[in-house]
Amino acid sequence: MNKIILSLALVGSMTLSACMQMSESDRRDVGGATVGGAVGLITAKALDANSNWTVLSTLAGAAAGVMVARNQETGECAYSNGDGTYRTGPCPS
Protein backbone atom coordinates (compact mmCIF):
# COMPACT_ATOMS: atom_id res chain seq x y z
CA MET A 1 0.00 0.00 0.00
CA ASN A 2 2.82 2.40 0.84
CA LYS A 3 4.38 1.79 -2.58
CA ILE A 4 1.11 2.69 -4.30
CA ILE A 5 0.69 5.91 -2.33
CA LEU A 6 4.32 6.89 -2.85
CA SER A 7 4.02 6.17 -6.59
CA LEU A 8 0.85 8.25 -6.88
CA ALA A 9 2.45 11.12 -4.99
CA LEU A 10 5.48 11.02 -7.27
CA VAL A 11 3.42 10.86 -10.47
CA GLY A 12 1.11 13.60 -9.21
CA SER A 13 3.99 15.94 -8.38
CA MET A 14 5.65 15.33 -11.75
CA THR A 15 2.34 15.88 -13.54
CA LEU A 16 1.64 19.12 -11.73
CA SER A 17 5.16 20.41 -12.32
CA ALA A 18 4.60 19.91 -16.05
CA CYS A 19 1.58 22.24 -15.91
CA MET A 20 3.68 25.37 -16.31
CA GLN A 21 3.17 25.40 -20.10
CA MET A 22 -0.53 24.50 -19.96
CA SER A 23 -3.56 26.73 -20.23
CA GLU A 24 -5.70 27.39 -17.16
CA SER A 25 -8.33 24.94 -18.41
CA ASP A 26 -5.74 22.20 -18.90
CA ARG A 27 -4.34 22.77 -15.41
CA ARG A 28 -7.82 22.43 -13.92
CA ASP A 29 -8.35 19.19 -15.83
CA VAL A 30 -5.06 17.74 -14.58
CA GLY A 31 -5.86 18.85 -11.04
CA GLY A 32 -9.33 17.34 -11.24
CA ALA A 33 -7.96 14.06 -12.54
CA THR A 34 -5.33 13.92 -9.81
CA VAL A 35 -7.77 14.66 -7.01
CA GLY A 36 -10.44 12.35 -8.45
CA GLY A 37 -7.97 9.50 -8.84
CA ALA A 38 -6.71 9.98 -5.29
CA VAL A 39 -10.25 9.95 -3.91
CA GLY A 40 -11.01 6.78 -5.88
CA LEU A 41 -7.86 5.09 -4.56
CA ILE A 42 -8.48 6.11 -0.97
CA THR A 43 -12.09 4.95 -1.14
CA ALA A 44 -11.11 1.56 -2.57
CA LYS A 45 -8.43 1.10 0.09
CA ALA A 46 -10.83 2.14 2.86
CA LEU A 47 -13.34 -0.45 1.65
CA ASP A 48 -10.56 -3.08 1.43
CA ALA A 49 -11.23 -3.71 -2.26
CA ASN A 50 -9.14 -6.18 -4.24
CA SER A 51 -6.53 -4.87 -6.67
CA ASN A 52 -8.84 -4.99 -9.71
CA TRP A 53 -11.48 -2.85 -8.01
CA THR A 54 -8.79 -0.51 -6.72
CA VAL A 55 -7.52 0.14 -10.24
CA LEU A 56 -11.06 0.56 -11.56
CA SER A 57 -12.09 2.99 -8.83
CA THR A 58 -8.91 5.04 -9.28
CA LEU A 59 -9.49 5.33 -13.03
CA ALA A 60 -13.17 6.13 -12.52
CA GLY A 61 -12.28 8.81 -9.97
CA ALA A 62 -9.78 10.36 -12.36
CA ALA A 63 -12.33 10.37 -15.17
CA ALA A 64 -14.96 11.94 -12.93
CA GLY A 65 -12.46 14.57 -11.81
CA VAL A 66 -11.86 15.64 -15.40
CA MET A 67 -15.51 15.64 -16.40
CA VAL A 68 -16.45 19.04 -15.07
CA ALA A 69 -19.41 20.58 -16.87
CA ARG A 70 -18.24 24.02 -17.92
CA ASN A 71 -19.45 26.29 -20.72
CA GLN A 72 -16.47 28.26 -22.04
CA GLU A 73 -18.65 30.77 -23.94
CA THR A 74 -20.84 31.84 -21.02
CA GLY A 75 -18.44 31.14 -18.15
CA GLU A 76 -21.02 28.99 -16.37
CA CYS A 77 -20.51 25.62 -14.71
CA ALA A 78 -22.99 22.88 -13.86
CA TYR A 79 -23.19 21.80 -10.21
CA SER A 80 -24.88 18.68 -8.89
CA ASN A 81 -27.73 19.14 -6.44
CA GLY A 82 -27.11 15.65 -5.07
CA ASP A 83 -30.49 14.31 -6.17
CA GLY A 84 -29.65 13.69 -9.83
CA THR A 85 -30.49 17.23 -10.96
CA TYR A 86 -28.10 20.05 -11.77
CA ARG A 87 -28.02 23.82 -11.49
CA THR A 88 -25.85 26.28 -13.37
CA GLY A 89 -23.87 29.16 -11.97
CA PRO A 90 -20.64 31.08 -12.42
CA CYS A 91 -17.47 28.99 -12.54
CA PRO A 92 -14.96 29.52 -9.74
CA SER A 93 -11.95 31.57 -10.76
91, 76 Cβ separation under 8 angstroms: yes
Percent of the chain residues topping a pLDDT of 70: 65
Angstrom distance (rounded) from CA 51 to CA 49:
7
36, 62 Cβ separation under 8 angstroms: yes
pTM: 0.53
> What's the pLDDT at 25?
65
* Average confidence (pLDDT) over 36-55: 85
**Residue 19 predicted with pLDDT over 60:** no
> Which segment, 39-48, 61-70, 79-88, is predicted with the most confidence on average?
39-48
